[in-house]
Structure 1
C-alpha cells in the first residue's frame, strides 16, 4: 500500500512567505489526524538567509514541539540542498531529533553527488531520508544523472520524481519510473504540479507503476500552479479503491483554507499552462502573475523568448528628446488622478513647458484631449489599455516609451503607434525593478531633463485592507522613489493625496486657486 504525504504548509509557503496563522495550522493538524495521510511536511529548516522568510521556513523548535504533541502523523521538514552543507547539520537538525521523522532534501539533478554526501549525514542522525529531485522532465539532459542513481541505495528511503514544470504526461511518468527502477531499488515517490491539470492522473499512474508515496496539498496549494489536491486525491481513492475517508474532517480542512485561496489565488492559468508544456521555470511566471499586472500576451511572449533563447523579440529606437522640458507631471493609476482630474487639467493648462508621463494608462482617458505632449510608459498590459482609451488609436497623438533592451517581458506595441514608440537606453538610478511602471516613468522624466517632477494618482492604496500584490507594489514604488531621490537633484512632489513617505506633499489646488 502506498503512503500519502501532505505538504500544504511547506509548499503553500511560497504564497504566504511561510507564515500561516496558528489557528489555521492547528485546524490543519486536527483534521489531518482524522484522515488517511501518513506524513505531514511542516516546512523547511534552514540556516539564516537574508531577507524575511516566515516561521515555517525555519520551523523553530518550539513550534515543532507543539505540533509533535498535537499530531498523530509522522512529521517532515525539508532542506534546500543548495543552501545546506554537512557542516550545518548539527545546527539545523540536531535540535529537532525526536520531533521530526523524515528529512527530505530538495535536489537539483546537477548536484546529486553533493546531495548524497549531505543525505549520508542526515541518515546517520537517525532520520528517514527523502530525495526530492527536481526537473524530472529534463533528467535525460543531465549527463550521467540516471546512471548515478545506483548510489542512492542504502541512503534514501524515498526517491521522489518531482514534476517541477508541471508538464509531464502519464507516459512520461511510466518511462521515468522505469529508468529509476533500472538503476536503484529505492522506494519511488511522485510530486506532481498542476500546470496542465495532470497532477491527479499522473499520480494515479505513478501508483499503478510502483510509486510508494505521493505528495498532495489542501486545495492544491503550492508554488506556481500548485499541486495535486489532497481532497481530490482522497475522494478518488475512496470512490475507486474504497479507502476510508472522514469527509467531515476533510471538509473542515478544505473550508479552513478557503480564505487563503481567495487571498492568494493559486492554481493554473494560461501562462502556467504554457510554461508547463514547454518545461519552463515557474518562478518567473509566479512573479509575473501574482506580483505584476502583466497581460497574458506579455507573459506568453516572455515565455516564448525563453523557449527560443532570445533576449527580446524586438529592438526599438532609443528615446532621445529633441529638447529639455521644465516640468513633468507623472500620472499614476490611482483613483485620485480621476477624482481630481478637473483641477489637474487646470494645472496643466497653466504651465508653459510641461510634459505628461502616464506611468499607467488607467487614467489617460481624462487627459486625452489636452494639447500637452504626453508620453505613455508601455509595461505589462498598457498597450491593451491604450487601445481601450483611444478608439482604434486613431486619435492618439503621444509617444510611447518601453524599458531598455532586452526586456524581461515580451514587447507588445499596438501596431497603430509603432512608429511613435521608443525604448530607453538605460535605467540609471536603480538595478531593481527596471521593468516597472514607476521606474520607467522616473527615468523618462530624467531623460527629458525636467527641473521639477510632480506626481498625481500615486495614492498608495488608501482603501484597506490591501492585497499582498498591492502591498508589494507599494513597497516597490517607495523604494524607487527613495533611490531616485538619492541620485537626482529633482524633488518628487505629490499633488494629490498620497501615502508614499518618500514623496513631498503639496496640493494641486494651491497651484491653481489664483
Structure 2
C-alpha cells in the first residue's frame, strides 16, 4: 500500500535557468513543460532564475522574456499547475499580475530566512486574485529551527498555502533538515515543502529526510539542472520515493525520458560537483553565486574557492550578487 501523496515541484525551468545563463528558448520551454506535464509533475515553476523580473545586469539577462516562456509553457500544460518565483524587491505586484494573466496559477514568494515580513503583501495579493501562494524561506541553514518556525508563522498568518524551506547553499545534512522540518511540522497547520541543492551530494538524501519528517512538497529538476551543483534530480527522486512506497503519481520511466531526451541535450555542462560548487556547500554560500564567482575569478586572476570562502565569511545572501566583484577586487589587492 502506498504511503501519503508527495507533490513534486519541478524547477528545471526556473532554478535550471541559472545553469544555462537564463538562455531557455520558447521551443525548449514548450518541450520541457509539455514533457513534465505528461509524466505527472504536480507543479512546474517557470521564471528567470532569480524570479520574475530578475532579468537585469545584476542577475543576468534572459535570452527570451520570461512572460513569453510562461505563456508558451501554459499552452503545453493540461494537468500540472504553473508556478512563478517572486523575490520581493526584484519582482513586484504588477509583475505577479502579469504572470497570472499569462497563465501562472501559483506564486512562491521567496525571502531570506529572517525576512518573511517583506513578502506579506505578495502572499495576501496572490490569495486575493485566486492564486495558490507559497511562503519560501531561503538560506534556511542560517537560521535555527526555532527561527525558521517564527518566520514561517508570518507566512501562515498572511494566508500561505504551504511553507517551503530552501537549503539554498546546499549546506545542510539530513540531520539539519530533520531538525527544521520536524519542528515546523509540529508548529504550523499547513503543508511543508523542501528545496535542496546538491553541493555536498546530499540533495536526494536531504529531500528524503524532509519527507520522513512530514514534508509533502518536494522540489526537483531534470538531471538536477540548477544553480551550483544543481538541485535534487527529479528522475532519481521519483524512483527512490517509489521504491519507498510513496505515491508521487509520476510516470518514472517517462521522467527519465524527459531528462535524457529533452533536457540533457540543452545543458551547457553536466551537473557534477567540482571544487567551486563543493565550496558553496562547505562554506554555506548561495548557490546562484557560482557563475558570478567564476566570472570574477577570471577577471581578477583568482581561485574561485578563495572568493567563495570570503563570501561565506561575510554571510552574503541572494540579492548581493554585485558585491562578488567587490570581494574579488579586494582579494586581488592582497596578492
TM-score class normalised by the smaller sequence: 0.7 to 0.9
SS of the residue 2:83 aligns to: strand
Which is helix-richer, 1 or 2?
Answer: 2
Judge conservation of contact 1:132–1:161 (CA < 8 Å) in 2: yes
Of 65, 75, 79, which aligns to 2:82? 75
What CA RMSD, in Å, does the superposition of the two structures yield over aligned residues? Answer: 3.2
Question: Which protein has the larger Cα radius of gyration, Structure 1 or Structure 2?
Answer: 1
1:163 matched to 2:167: yes
Aligned counterparts of 2:177 and 2:54: Cα–Cα separation in 1: 36
- Quick check: 1:245 aligned with 2:251? yes
1:59 corresponds to: 66
Change (3 A) 1:117 1:289: same
Q: 1:298 to 1:131 in 2, by over 3 A?
A: same
Q: Secondary structure at the match of 1:9?
A: coil
Residue 289 of structure 1: CA displacement?
3.5
- Whether the 8 Å contact between 2:161 and 2:191 is mirrored in structure 1 is yes
Deviation of 1:405 (Å): 7.5
Shift of 1:230: 0.8
Structure having greater relative contact order (Cα 8 Å, sep ≥ 6): 2
- Call closer, same or farther: CA 1:408–1:259 in 2, change over 3 Å: farther
Matches within 5 A, 1:194-273: 194-241=198-245, 245-248=251-254, 250-261=256-267, 263-273=268-278
Deviation, structure 1 residue 74: 0.9
Query: CA-to-partner distance for each residue in 1:184-218, whole Å, 9 max, x for gaps?
Result: 22211000000001000100111111001000011
> Structure 1 residues 50, 213: closer, same or farther in 2, change over 3 A?
closer
> Matches of residues 351-366 of structure 1 in structure 2 within 5 Å?
none
Aligned counterparts of 1:305 and 1:199: Cα–Cα separation in 2: 24
Does residue 16 in structure 1 map to residue 23 in structure 2?
no
Change (3 A) 1:210 1:25: same
Question: How many Å separate the matches in 1 of 2:272 and 2:259?
Answer: 18
Question: How far apart are the structure 1 equivalents of 2:136 and 2:330?
Answer: 34
Gaps of 5+ in 1: 310-403, 412-514
Displacement of 1:224 in angstroms is 1.5
Take 1:257 and 1:29, find their aligned partners in 2: how far apart are those partners? Answer: 11
C-alpha distance after superposition, 1:212-266 (max 9, x if no partner)? 10000111111112101111112223333275625145324422222333x2444
Q: Aligned pair in 2 of structure 1 residues 288, 203: CA closer, same or farther (>3 Å)?
A: same
TM-score by length of 2: 0.80
Change beyond 3 A, Cα 1:226–1:137: same
Alignment of 1:87-106 (within 5 A): 88-90=92-94, 92-94=96-98, 96-97=100-101, 99-106=103-110
CA shift at 1:121, angstroms? 1.4
**Per-residue deviation, 1:145:** 5.7
Distance change >3 Å, CA 150–CA 269, structure 1 → 2:
same
Residue 296 to residue 174, structure 1, CA distance change in 2 (3 Å):
farther
Alpha-carbon offset, residue 298 of structure 1: 2.5
Equivalent residue, structure 2, for 1:149: 152
| TM-score normalised by length of structure 1 | 0.54
> Number of matched residues?
311
The structural deviation recorded for 1:23 is: 2.9
The separation in 2 between residues aligned to 1:48 and 1:42, in whole angstroms, is: 12
Match of 1:288 among 276, 284, 293: 293
CA distance in 1, matches of 2:252, 2:172: 31
2:331 to 407, 425, 428: 407
Q: Kindly tell me: are residues 186 and 293 of structure 1, through their superposed partners in 2, closer, same or farther at Cα, counting changes over 3 Å? A: same
Distance 2:34 2:191 in 1: 29
Partner residue of 1:32 out of 32, 36, 41: 36
Aligned-pair distance for 1:89? Answer: 1.9
- Structure 2 gap segments, 5+ residues each: 315-327
User: Paired residue for 1:396?
Assistant: none
